[in-house]
Structure 1
Amino acid sequence: MTNDLLGRHRAVLPDWLALYYEEPLEITHGEGRHVWDAQGNRYLDFFGGILTTMTAHALPEVTKAVSEQAGRIIHSSTLYLNRPMVELAERIAQLSGIPDARVFFTTSGTEANDTALLLATAYRRSNTILAMRNSYHGRSFSAVGITGNSGWSPTSLSPLQTLYVHGGVRTRGPFASLSDDAYIAACVEDLKDLLGHTRAPAALIAEPVQGVGGFTAPPDGLYAAFREVLHERGILWIADEVQTGWGRTGENFWGWQAHGRNGPPDIMTFAKGIGNGMSIGGVVARSEIMNCLDSNSISTFGGTQITMAAGLANLTYLLEHDLQGNARRVGGLLIERLRAVAAQVPAVREVRGRGLMIGIEITKPGTDEADPLTAAAVQEAAREGGLLIGKGGGHNTSSLRVAPPLSLNVAEAEEGAAILENALRSIR
């Protein structure tokens, strides 16, 4: 029974391990864009295990690849040659756009960002990091130290000196009233001023679209403009593509490409969707940066054969079925549908996003004041209607996060939008 499992969960797991819903649900199986709970209730899944189920639940191609690999060998560590790891690294290096790229696999986005920070600080001989306000980069000691969202940063202690930069949230902050061009110019001037008051940082780390922050983003071109300033000073740019990569934004394969007029980032991190639920993360960097470490290192579970087999099958399916194009088309329809609904609901401050990465910010009507209780009520109402969505935001988690698998079809998008419409109208 779910109540018995909840009691056992609370008895042995940390109090800070968050659970959604007043009555948490146990998901037992999934297929396509749907999942079922232990009571047999069926839900349309618009959150995909926090954007990890990128293509579909129980995708036959991935299931087959995992099963076949498990029948041969599951794991050997990076101390031995590993054909699936080499093959996936070759494909990711080519897709990354980074010249002379090297790829290192980890087990999560947190570990990927931790590795990127290690590389950047070692390469630059500096422990100062620039990060964006409202950002999130994982739960390791170094990652929470650069997270610009207090709700997800449980300690101020850190091995790094972190300086936070304006620009990640277009519609809030001191520059919100400016035009896009003026906004970018103001953020660039603020960055230059900040750099005039500190020792040379190692890198700027930034999510092209802030995930946990509520799917917020700057105007296209901001990070390109930042990079001009950074490049003049030798400061690296780390693009955190853990949530934005693999075509989820529809318009581009990588989120950084909306800011790419000056070329790709120096370092890029990825995770989540590439494994379609299997634990894969990784870092891509120019060889001179990746090879800068002067001691040995391995990854016991990063790049293990079974996860690499899943990643190869998943990436092949994604590319052969043009799921990036599907995210652009179906996501465009979904966001316009949600904006039409939101225009009639005073509690919705903004519907934002691109592709199948959509945020709905809930505030107290007529104000910019966050309303996390109402956001939670909408999430509960959506669940009652048969739809699972996420939450996030830098203002007390008052943003709803919509991120279905990239194979979502038009009928499912319409069904999910109708459920969300009813849930939003229930709070009027």
Structure 2
Amino acid sequence: MTHAPQLRIPATYMRGGTSKGVFFRLQDLPQAAQVVGPARDALLMRVIGSPDPYGKHTDGMGGATSSTSKCVIIAKSDVPDHDVDYLYGQVSIDTAFVDWSGNCGNLSSAVGPFAIANGLVDASRIPRDGTAVVRIWQANIGKTIVAHVPVSNGEVQETGDFELDGVTFTAAEIQLEFLDPSDEGEGGGAMFPTGNLVDDLEVPGVGTLKATLINAGIPTIFLNAAELGYSGTELQPAINDDKAALAKFEAIRAHGAVRMGLIAKVEDAATRQHTPKVAFVAPAQDYVASSGKHIAASEIDLHVRALSMGKLHHAMMGTAAVAIGTAASIPGTLVNLAAGGGAITDKGREAVRFGHPSGTLRVGAQAQRVDGQWTVTKAIMSRSARVLMEGAVRVPADSF
């Protein structure tokens, strides 16, 4: 009996923000996986170790959480004025599915460093010491991300004293600019797909909830914590150990996706697990983060808790942070109101600091109202990234 050999595929395992993923150069993938299709999906699932009915990813590179079941494909860009194309796949843990419907804001911070280290950025644009500016085309959603990557002695600087709540050790700071983060071309192509800053979202079996439905960074459904029976200071066990709560949030997500025009019927939500996100907000109050750190209400503007791939996130998704910053900047949204509101002017709040399960995060947004319509030109936040391992990942040759 013959057995398939294992293939060696060049890969880099990287942390980006509060996520981890397996990074590939497009040219290094097997020929069948260099194009969109079932072979690519099957390969990435086998790399991660999915589907895994045990929910452990023991036989793969995944970490059995939404933050660690990710793959990234990078290639030189043909898009004018861009260095690289960045394609992100969120791999389901227990089902045979890769969701390509959105971006990962956290792993976005690792794209610039990976591109520089792998020769995908023109060497003439990389200073010996200073900051390299990498223009990234986010291929999932057709948006531009500008990464400001520190460089020392001609190489990416990874170590530093920048602290990011949700990440144990310090590293070098990478500033990200998400340009024109609203209007992802879905749900009517508007930042607020229903045309409203706040909607009454009817969810059978749950009730009617106030909701801000927004396309910015990633499609997100914002709810009031109090209306759900929460304080807004919850940590992961309070949500993830409650099966009834998780089912309720999934029902909200499915009905919100229909309302946003992302899917035609609630049953389609099962094939779109990565988006939209569901988050709940509350006014600032004292709390203790998952690390045991005490955070005073005076340190933050509001609380936000968000779910990703059916579970409460341990910190905050980068793309959801963009949505938070954008919504906070626009008077009248649930996020803005939780942060204390503000006068109705043609220029919204430019930055917000929010509390999440692991600590706090500041995100800025440049929003303005023109002819009665709100637009956002840029969202800005700082993350960090680091290579954890590089070399080759192995997969059985008959797995894709």
Common fold, TM-score beyond 0.5?
Answer: no
Return the TM-score normalized by structure 2: 0.29
Structure number with higher strand proportion: 2
> Bigger relative contact order, structure 1 or 2, given CA contacts below 8 A and separation 6+?
1
* TM-score, reference length from structure 1: 0.28
**Greater helix proportion:** 1
